[in-house]
């Protein structure tokens, strides 16, 4: 039983995403042909099958589109945190990202809540994006 | 287009006992079910020349070990993976194989030891969530989201938000399915479930309570499939495979949400069933279906499956399931042996065995009077219509 939390698994397709997070930026793979961003990072544009992708900076803002609260300690490393939330955020640019909501009241954990990104450095290679409620 | 309507039939079914922490291995449970299925069909072990396996990595042995252990001589194999998504596929491949002459008799085998292997389903041993590209249920282990139920919670939370559905309304699903189980002496759960029990049960992954989650059990089921022609000469009344359609996939699909609902990369609002969802009713109309069987790993999946096949409109299943409609004696009984929620989790094959008994008229206390057309269909859109 490991007490270290699991880390995201890097692949050739998603490495630029995590590299941007390390630099404190949210970047989305965006098709140079049809201009649409997508998640999760894939090898081609899922909309037009275009092969040229550019990693464009995103606003980091969006709204909670679904969420859950985990009450069971599946991971020993999360045991002290239960119950904890996991959210999906619909970014202003369209794609959805899974993360946690932090610095929030229980009332702010709701579908439709406006949120903004922050970056939580875990170690030298991984920085996890999380979200907090938008001020005001 | 080649039609597989009534070209194949289930001619034998066999089960092990179902239960928790059973001492036997997966293979031993499978062997018990195989012996029972052969006896049921009046076939010999040497008659089986095809395997369609709904097990294998990471939950147990592959097809070659099964054939070796059972002393079979096989010339056709289909192996899927122990996921609800592949029950239909496994039975369909068996039907296609015997119809195409690739095999004479295909044994569909599902054998599970979930109580010994449960760490695979979530947590530090989450083999699914930690593979490259992650799991299919929306697993995000680095954010603490693991296990299939996490995805079901995400789907149900948004469904509740869009339609105003409540946990108390959802409770009608496990309560009705438990009522079926109480009539089945072989079901693991034997005491009625009340709304109070459901609401008081511990929250696992909000909004899903303990009783919205299936059992974790051990057991095996074998279904023997052969051509309709050969079936007519065998011991049992054949159960014909009268219609089939495959699983759907694409960016509008998420394993545990209705099409389009807005989980992961779905566009955001539920999409009503289209021609691909309803192709199953080409030869037999939905109104002829006397009972519906589905993969009820989590109670929301029953709502999503009913909407997928148009038994009611998007967002209406929460109302459709009230008032005993899907329970014993209801207008559309669902999972009459108790399903994964209350009979046992045998990869869904306990319901395939139940459909077979129903269409033979031998289901005993759970018998739907005059059952002649039953549907297996999942929230992913895959389906098989069966008749006697």
- Residue range B368-382, pLDDT digits in tens: 999 999 999 999 999
Are A69 and B150 a contacting pair at CB < 8 A? Answer: no
> How many Cβ atoms from other residues are within 10 Å of residue B199's Cβ?
12
Mutation target to probe the A interface, by most A beta carbons within 10 A, among B125, B144, B268 is: B144
Q: Which residues does chain A have within 8 Å of residue B126's beta carbon, measured at their own beta carbons?
A: 6, 74
Q: Which residues does chain A have within 8 Å of residue B147's beta carbon, measured at their own beta carbons?
A: 74
Distance, in Å, from the CA atom of B189 to the CA atom of B338, rounded to the nearest integer, reads 8
Tens digit of pLDDT per residue, chain B (388 long)?
A: 567 899 999 999 999 999 999 999 999 999 999 999 999 999 999 999 999 999 876 778 999 999 999 999 999 999 998 889 999 999 999 999 999 999 999 999 999 998 877 666 777 777 788 888 888 888 899 999 988 999 999 999 999 999 999 999 999 999 999 999 999 999 999 999 999 999 999 999 999 999 999 999 999 999 999 999 999 999 999 999 999 999 999 999 999 999 999 999 999 999 999 999 999 999 999 999 999 999 999 999 999 999 999 999 999 999 999 999 999 999 999 999 999 999 999 999 999 999 999 999 999 999 999 999 999 999 999 999 999 9
B366's CB contacts (< 8 A; 6+ apart) are B180, B183, B184, B328, B336, B337, B354, B358
Measured in angstroms, the CA of A136 and the nearest CA of chain B are apart by: 23
Cβ-based interface (< 8 Å): residues of B facing A: 122-124, 126, 129-134, 138, 140-147, 150, 153-155, 157-158, 161, 202-207, 251, 262-265, 268
Tell whether the torsion through CA atoms of B189, B154, A101 and A108 is positive or negative: negative
Rounded to a whole number of angstroms, the distance between the first and last alpha carbons of chain A is 42
Q: Which residues does chain A have within 8 Å of residue B263's beta carbon, measured at their own beta carbons?
A: 65-66, 88, 96
pLDDT in the model for residue B3:
77
For residue B297, give both structure tokens: 């790993």
B100's CB contacts (< 8 A; 6+ apart) are none
Closest-CA residue in chain B for A42? Answer: B133
Instruction: Give the closest residue to B316 by CA, choosing from B206, B179, B159, B199.
Output: B159
pLDDT in the model for residue B132:
82
Q: Which residues does chain A have within 8 Å of residue B202's beta carbon, measured at their own beta carbons?
A: 71
Question: Which H helix or E strand runs over B357?
Answer: helix B349-360
**Angle of the B349-360 helix axis to the B87-99 helix axis, nearest 10:** 60
Q: Tell me the count of A-B CB pairs closer than 8 A.
A: 108
Instruction: Give the closest residue to B317 by CA, choosing from B215, B185, B176, B181.
Output: B176
pLDDT in the model for residue B117:
74
Give the full edge-to-edge strand order of the sheet including B291-293: B76-79, B50-53, B105-113, B218-227, B8-15, B239-245, B383-387, B373-377, B291-293
Q: Does A6 touch chain B (CB under 8 A)?
A: yes
Distance, in Å, from the CA atom of B156 to the CA atom of B257, rounded to the nearest integer, reads 7
Share of chain A above pLDDT 90, in %: 94
Query: Are B13 and B221 a contacting pair, CB within 8 Å?
Result: yes
Q: Which position has the token pair 């122990």?
A: B82
Please state whether beta strands B105-113 and B50-53 pair in parallel, antiparallel, or not at all (unpaired): parallel
Query: Are B332 and B326 a contacting pair, CB within 8 Å?
Result: yes
Instruction: Give the closest residue to B143 by CA, choosing from A102, A45, A95.
Output: A102
Q: Which residues does chain B have within 8 Å of residue A97's beta carbon, measured at their own beta carbons?
A: none
pLDDT in the model for residue B166:
98
In terms of phi and psi (left: phi > 0; alpha: psi -120 to 50; beta: otherwise), the region of A75 is beta
Rounded to a whole number of angstroms, the distance between the first and last alpha carbons of chain B is 24
Are A66 and B157 a contacting pair at CB < 8 A? Answer: yes
A23's CB contacts (< 8 A; 6+ apart) are none
Question: Which H helix or E strand runs over A120?
Answer: strand A114-121
B145's CB contacts (< 8 A; 6+ apart) are A68, A70, A86, A98, B129, B138, B139
Whether residue A15 has pLDDT greater than 90: yes
> How many Cβ atoms from other residues are within 10 Å of residue A43's Cβ?
11
Distance, in Å, from the CA atom of B319 to the CA atom of B306, rounded to the nearest integer, reads 11
B337-B120-B264 Cα angle (round to 5) = 85
DSSP state of A26: -
DSSP state of B181: H
Minimal Cβ distance to A6: which of B142, B157, B262? B142
B150's CB contacts (< 8 A; 6+ apart) are A68, A70, A86, B122, B137, B138, B139, B205
Share of chain A above pLDDT 70, in %: 98
Q: Which residues does chain A have within 8 Å of residue B157's beta carbon, measured at their own beta carbons?
A: 66-68, 111
Distance, in Å, from the CA atom of B154 to the CA atom of B156, rounded to the nearest integer, reads 6
Minimal Cβ distance to B264: which of A7, A84, A96? A96
List A118's β-bridge partners, or say none: A130
Domain boundaries, chain A: 10-58, 59-136
Fold of A59-136: OB fold (Dihydrolipoamide Acetyltransferase, E2P) (2.40.50)
Whether residue A2 has pLDDT greater than 70: no
Mutation target to probe the A interface, by most A beta carbons within 10 A, among B130, B143, B251 is: B143
Q: Which residues does chain B have within 8 Å of residue A120's beta carbon, measured at their own beta carbons?
A: none
Q: Does A56 touch chain B (CB under 8 A)?
A: no
Averaged pLDDT for residues A52-61: 98
**Angle of the B26-41 helix axis to the B63-70 helix axis, nearest 10:** 60
Q: Is B28 helix (H, G, I), strand (E, B) or coil?
A: helix
Distance, in Å, from the CA atom of B384 to the CA atom of B24, rounded to the nearest integer, reads 31
Whether residue A82 has pLDDT greater than 80: yes
Q: Does A107 touch chain B (CB under 8 A)?
A: no
Domains of chain B: 8-118+214-387 (3.40.47.10)
Closest-CA residue in chain B for A112? Answer: B161
Measured in angstroms, the CA of B7 and the nearest CA of chain A are apart by: 38
Distance, in Å, from the CA atom of A108 to the CA atom of A131, rounded to the nearest integer, reads 11
């Amino acid at each position: 039983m490991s007490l270290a939390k699991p880390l995201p698994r890097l692949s050739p397709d998603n490495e630029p995403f995590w590299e941007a997070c390390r630099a404190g930026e949210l970047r989305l793979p965006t098709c140079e042909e049809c201009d649409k961003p997508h998640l999760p990072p894939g090898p081609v544009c899922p909309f037009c099958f275009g092969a040229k992708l550019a990693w464009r900076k995103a606003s980091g803002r969006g709204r909670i589109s679904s969420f859950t609260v985990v009450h069971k300690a599946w991971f020993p490393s999360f045991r002290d945190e239960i119950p904890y939330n996991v959210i999906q955020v619909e970014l202003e640019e369209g794609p959805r990202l899974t993360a946690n909501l932090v610095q929030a009241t229980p009332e702010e954990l709701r579908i439709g809540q406006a949120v903004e990104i922050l970056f939580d450095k875990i170690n030298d290679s991984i920085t996890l994006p999380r979200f907090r409620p938008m001020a005001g | 287009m080649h039609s597989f309507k009534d070209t194949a039939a289930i001619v034998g079914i066999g089960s092990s006992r179902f239960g928790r922490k059973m001492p036997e291995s997966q293979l031993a449970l499978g062997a018990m079910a195989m012996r029972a299925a052969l006896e049921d069909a009046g076939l010999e072990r040497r008659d089986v020349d095809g395997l369609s396996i709904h097990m294998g990595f990471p939950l147990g042995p592959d097809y070659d070990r099964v054939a070796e252990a059972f002393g079979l001589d096989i010339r056709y194999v289909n192996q899927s993976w122990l996921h609800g998504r592949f029950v239909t596929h496994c039975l369909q491949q068996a039907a296609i194989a015997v119809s195409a002459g690739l095999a004479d008799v295909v044994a569909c085998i599902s054998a599970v030891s979930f109580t010994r292997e449960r760490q695979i389903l979530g947590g530090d041993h989450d083999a699914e969530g930690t593979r490259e590209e992650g799991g299919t249920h929306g697993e995000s282990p680095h954010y603490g989201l693991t296990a299939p139920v996490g995805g079901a919670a995400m789907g149900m939370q948004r469904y509740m938000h869009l339609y105003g559905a409540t946990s108390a309304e959802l409770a009608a699903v496990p309560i009705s399915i438990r009522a079926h189980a109480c009539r089945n002496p072989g079901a693991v759960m034997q005491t009625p479930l009340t709304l109070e029990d459901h609401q008081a049960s511990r929250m696992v992954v909000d909004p899903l309570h303990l009783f919205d989650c299936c059992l974790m059990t051990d057991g095996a089921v074998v279904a023997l499939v052969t051509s309709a022609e050969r079936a007519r000469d065998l011991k049992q009344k054949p159960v014909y495979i009268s219609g089939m359609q495959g699983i759907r996939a694409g960016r509008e699909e998420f394993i545990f949400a209705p099409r389009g609902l807005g989980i992961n990369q779905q566009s955001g609002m539920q999409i009503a069933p289209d021609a691909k969802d309803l192709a199953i009713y080409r030869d037999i109309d939905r109104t002829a279906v006397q009972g519906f069987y589905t993969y009820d790993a989590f109670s929301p999946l029953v709502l999503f499956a009913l909407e997928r096949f148009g038994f009611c409109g998007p967002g209406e299943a929460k109302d459709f399931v009230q008032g005993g409609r899907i329970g014993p004696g209801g207008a559309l009984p669902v999972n009459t042996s108790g399903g994964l929620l209350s009979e046992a989790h045998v990869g869904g094959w306990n319901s395939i065995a139940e459909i077979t008994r129903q269409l033979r008229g031998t289901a005993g206390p759970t018998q739907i009077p005059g059952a002649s057309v039953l549907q297996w269909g999942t929230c992913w859109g895959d389906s098989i219509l069966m008749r006697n």
